[in-house]
Structure 1
Amino acid sequence: MTQGRSIRLFLVDGAPNGLLTAEIMNWTGHVLTGPRSKLPEIIERPECARTGIYFLVGPDPDNSMRPLVYVGESDDVAARLKQHNREEGKGGKDFWEKVCLVTSKDQNLTKAHVKYLESRLMAQAKRAGRCGLVNGTAHEYGVLPEADQSDMAFFAEQIRIVLPVLGFDFLKAPAETGSAQQTPASPDSPIFEMAIPKYGINARAREIDGEFVVLEGSLARESWVSEHKGYSDLFQQLVQDGVLAPEEADKRRFTKDHSFSSPSAAAAVVSGRNANGRTSWFVEGTRTSYSDWQDEIISQQSHDSGEGSV
């Protein structure tokens, strides 16, 4: 079982949509985030005068399913943010609506450290596939001593933990389950299957870390067939990204495991139309639906805790 973490959040101006800081217990990192409208206040913060790594985040006009992200580093973040802000309308990085800055409370991050972090986090963002990365190719910075590389690997892992809490999930690693044929079912999350015999479609999935993951090798409809849009944008994005590749007999195949926000989102992509995932997915080899399986777990937990006893 993953060990719990304590994260301290502070609303700098008392507003939920204003400036926010975040820290993890026993981590020297410090995170500051806020909307671009608060940029005058952000650049006046002491954190912005330090060496750090930062993210510019905004919507992708060509893809509503994921954000655009720019990963940067500087030993004077305030100056770099001012520069980015001046690039508005000049073909520069004018897409961003939010900024997130990560520095060190002990101020021990050096220029070499943040260059290494920039490269590592860019590579992680590309692997995650949850955003469009504005940066070009990530550079490999291997000049750090071995001990420093280990420290920065830990530092990067803490960034990956805290950012989703702040609403940024672009570094969240995709679920790694192994191949569809080799992934074992577990008591916590069995293998689920969904079949559409009429079209020769069979898909398999697991629930991992709160996400519903359709496994590599699963089959789906060739195209979105419903007149209702629903998850059609998501379907087309997966086709564009190569997650759904053409398969014989008017089908598509998942080329890798893919995480969905819900069983219904996964069921819709598999079937090419809106679907209730809670009743479309079944525990493999049974007629127990996802909904029934979840209800059984809740009932068992209530029984084990003695709920309802006198």
Structure 2
Amino acid sequence: MTAEIMNWTGHVLTGPRSKLAEVVQRPECSRTGVYFLVGPDPENSLRSQVYIGESDDVAKRLKQHNQPEEKGGKDFWERVCLVTSKDQNLTKAHVKHLESLLISIAGSLGNCVLVNGTAHEYGKGLPESDLADMAFFLEQIRAVLPVLGLDFLRERISPSAAISVPAGQVQRSPRFVYKVPKETAVAHAQEVDGEFFVLKGSQARGHWVGTQGGYEQLFQQMIADGVLVESSQPALREFAVDYGFSSPSAAAAIVSGRSANGRTSWQVANSGISYAEWQNQQVNAAKTSVE
């Protein structure tokens, strides 16, 4: 799979390790660029392991990484993504600078387990114009990777952080509430830039009561990570931080301790309107404005 952005000189190529023989034959692989090796974390299937590298001959480096661990390769990865330049203007100094920035960003965000060690600081010798170009190049990388399903460089703006962002730059929903049936647990949530956040202080069932599988592993992982902590109320847990979910149903499942339809469970506060009804209102209003 390839990806480009209009008016950007960068070019992205990604594919599974099983297709590496085809990937390394692509002309992009003989160019200077940065690359990402991505695979599952054996200790937490909900996260990825990521290695970030650079080379002036990416195909050669990928062949080295494909060797067994005992021969200097890396076993963990299942997917590769490389970023090069269509005009081939990226130099070794450029990609070293990009690599150090990418490692630093991925490490600070904590969205993945970074296989790299400490990032080295490069770029001090680059001209000011080159540093500006690489800053723009970096932002385009961060914009295009989530579209390809690689979101470890994505900065999530939680509802509490969104307060300081100027109006219009971040899309915010009204506040939603979910009262777990037959329980005293009450949770509050807000959708920010397409991500559904359960807010700090929200309550959840104290243990998983649903069938095995599904979101049970996420529930247990959130307890282990200190996201769900013991509450002052018996048999309940509490969200220690704002926590983003991929969907309202995922959020509802964690709050209720079992599978739940978040589109109907979450309701706009003080209105009785479900999330699904609210979303339909937004879609209909947008359609009307276009017409």
Query: Fold-level match, TM-score > 0.5?
Result: yes
2:39–2:78 contact (8 Å) kept in structure 1: yes
Name the structure 2 match of 1:293: 278
Name the structure 2 match of 1:41: 22
Query: Which amino acid is 1:177 matched to?
Result: P
- Residue 104 of structure 2 corresponds to residue 123 of structure 1: yes
Name the structure 1 match of 2:208: 224
1:56–1:71 contact (8 Å) kept in structure 2: yes
Query: Which amino acid is 1:31 matched to?
Result: V
- Residue 160 of structure 2 corresponds to residue 178 of structure 1: yes
Q: Distance in 1 between matches of 2:129 and 2:163?
A: 39
1:72 deviates by: 0.9
- Report the identity percentage: 62
Name the structure 1 match of 2:65: 84
- Residue 135 of structure 2 corresponds to residue 153 of structure 1: yes
**Residue pairs, 1:183-198, within 5 angstroms:** 189-196=173-180
Q: Distance in 2 between matches of 1:145 and 1:279?
A: 55
Q: Distance in 1 between matches of 2:137 and 2:165?
A: 31
Q: TM-score, normalized by length of structure 1? A: 0.80
Q: Distance in 1 between matches of 2:278 and 2:286?
A: 13
Q: Distance in 1 between matches of 2:267 and 2:64?
A: 53
Query: Which amino acid is 2:4 matched to?
Result: E
1:242 deviates by: 3.1
Q: Distance in 1 between matches of 2:147 and 2:190?
A: 23
Name the structure 2 match of 1:260: 245
Out of 217, 222, 228, the position equivalent to 1:244 is 228
Out of 93, 96, 99, the position equivalent to 1:112 is 93
Q: Distance in 2 between matches of 1:25 and 1:284?
A: 41
Over 3 Å counting, the alpha-carbon distance change for 1:183 and 1:81 in structure 2 is closer
1:31–1:103 contact (8 Å) kept in structure 2: yes
**Residue pairs, 1:17-28, within 5 angstroms:** 20-28=1-9
2:172–2:193 contact (8 Å) kept in structure 1: no
Over 3 Å counting, the alpha-carbon distance change for 1:185 and 1:218 in structure 2 is farther
Query: Which amino acid is 2:151 matched to?
Result: D
CA deviations on 1:35-79 (whole Å, 9 max, x unpaired) are 222323322333222221001112233322232221111222122
How many residues are matched? 287
Gaps of 5+ in 2: none
Q: Distance in 2 between matches of 1:63 and 1:295?
A: 36
Query: Which amino acid is 1:156 matched to?
Result: L
Q: Distance in 2 between matches of 1:183 and 1:216?
A: 19
1:272 deviates by: 1.7
Q: Distance in 1 between matches of 2:259 and 2:154?
A: 26
Query: Which SS does the other structure have where 1:245 is aligned?
Result: strand
Gaps of 5+ in 1: 1-19
Q: Distance in 1 between matches of 2:71 and 2:236?
A: 44
1:192–1:205 contact (8 Å) kept in structure 2: yes
1:223 deviates by: 2.8
2:38–2:50 contact (8 Å) kept in structure 1: yes
1:229 deviates by: 2.9
Over 3 Å counting, the alpha-carbon distance change for 1:73 and 1:255 in structure 2 is farther
1:254 deviates by: 2.8
- Residue 151 of structure 2 corresponds to residue 169 of structure 1: yes
CA deviations on 1:132-181 (whole Å, 9 max, x unpaired) are 22222333435244443332221111111211222322222213332699
Query: Which amino acid is 2:134 matched to?
Result: M
Q: Distance in 2 between matches of 1:225 and 1:162?
A: 39
- Higher mean displacement: 60-69 or 70-79: 60-69
Query: Which amino acid is 2:156 matched to?
Result: P
Q: Distance in 1 between matches of 2:213 and 2:288?
A: 42
1:127–1:173 contact (8 Å) kept in structure 2: no
Q: Distance in 1 between matches of 2:103 and 2:56?
A: 18
1:193–1:203 contact (8 Å) kept in structure 2: yes
